[in-house]
């Protein structure tokens, strides 16, 4: 077993300077000296949805969408151990709030996942979830799939993130390597429209089979269907009072 400290109590060497700790979607971070961020668009209203009436009361809100910038070596502690194994496959590394994310090109996802699972110095045995993210302003990288991995052997956690263009939203399925990815990939496809090539049965898991579109995309309208609660009916958002 490793003598490294557990993931929830990282060694001080893992801590990164303020340039890697700027929070997402923080307008004050843009243009501030010493803060490295990457702007990927502009959000209008509370949810950034367009084409339907605003029901949040924040229709006039305009805020930049920014992401933490790339970290530089040395990352500190065991972060470098993982990076050394994945190094040829890494696009960039982001360390934010003491957590590390490896950005990998989708063509190298299967190879990276196999190394993370099987390399004796890594042993990330568990894939605990797959998340989708939609950044309409991130040209050529509008859709992101984020994988959350844990090593029981070393008590470590990492994220792997891949991006795909809106016009070719395809990512290799990790079900052959991590069977637990099955339902998570189905939900990510259902909500965001990311197609996981090689998935054994990529069908809807939350919405009806004939549901149009993917509801968690930023370009999906806020309209919907009434929700019934014991005889009472709550109208869909686009039919409620608009504050804009």
Average pLDDT of the residues in 151-176: 97
Average pLDDT of the residues in 65-84: 92
When pLDDT is cut at 50, 70 and 90, the band that residue 34 belongs to is very low
Residue 137 CA to residue 15 CA, distance in Å, equals: 30
pTM: 0.77
Residues with Cβ within 8 Å of residue 134, at least 6 apart in sequence: 142, 143, 144, 192, 216, 217, 218, 219
H-only helix segments in the chain: 79-86, 109-118, 181-192
Amino acid 16: pLDDT: 42
Answer with the residue of higher pLDDT: 121 or 48. Answer: 121
Average pLDDT of the residues in 145-157: 97
Amino acid 242: pLDDT: 57
Average pLDDT of the residues in 78-86: 97
The tokens of 56 are what?
């949040």
Domains of the chain: 71-215 (3.30.460.80)
In whole angstroms, how large is the CA radius of gyration of the chain?
20
Question: Bridge partners of 21?
Answer: none
When pLDDT is cut at 50, 70 and 90, the band that residue 224 belongs to is low
When pLDDT is cut at 50, 70 and 90, the band that residue 162 belongs to is very high
21: part of which helix (H) or strand (E)? Answer: none
């Amino acid at each position: 077993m490793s003598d490294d400290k557990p993931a929830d109590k990282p060694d001080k060497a893992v801590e990164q300077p303020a340039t890697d700790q700027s929070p997402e979607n923080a307008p004050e971070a843009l243009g501030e000296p010493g803060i490295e961020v990457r702007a990927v668009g502009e959000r209008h209203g509370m949810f950034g949805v367009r084409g339907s009436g605003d029901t949040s009361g924040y229709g006039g809100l305009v805020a930049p969408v920014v992401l933490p910038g790339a970290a530089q070596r040395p990352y500190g502690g065991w972060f470098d151990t993982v990076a050394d194994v994945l190094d040829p496959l890494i696009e960039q590394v982001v360390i934010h709030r003491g957590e590390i994310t490896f950005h990998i090109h989708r063509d190298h996802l299967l190879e990276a996942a196999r190394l993370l699972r099987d390399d004796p110095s890594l042993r990330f045995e568990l894939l605990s979830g797959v998340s989708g993210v939609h950044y309409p302003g991130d040209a050529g990288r509008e859709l992101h799939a984020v994988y959350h991995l844990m090593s029981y052997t070393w008590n470590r956690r990492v994220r792997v993130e891949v991006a795909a263009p809106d016009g070719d939203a395809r990512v290799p399925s990790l079900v052959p390597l991590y069977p637990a990815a099955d339902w998570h990939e189905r939900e990510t496809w259902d909500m965001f429209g990311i197609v996981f090539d090689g998935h054994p049965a990529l069908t809807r898991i939350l919405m009806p089979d004939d549901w149009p579109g993917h509801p968690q995309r930023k370009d999906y309208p806020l309209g919907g269907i009434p929700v019934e609660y014991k005889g009472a009916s709550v109208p869909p958002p686009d039919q409620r009072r608009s504050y804009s």
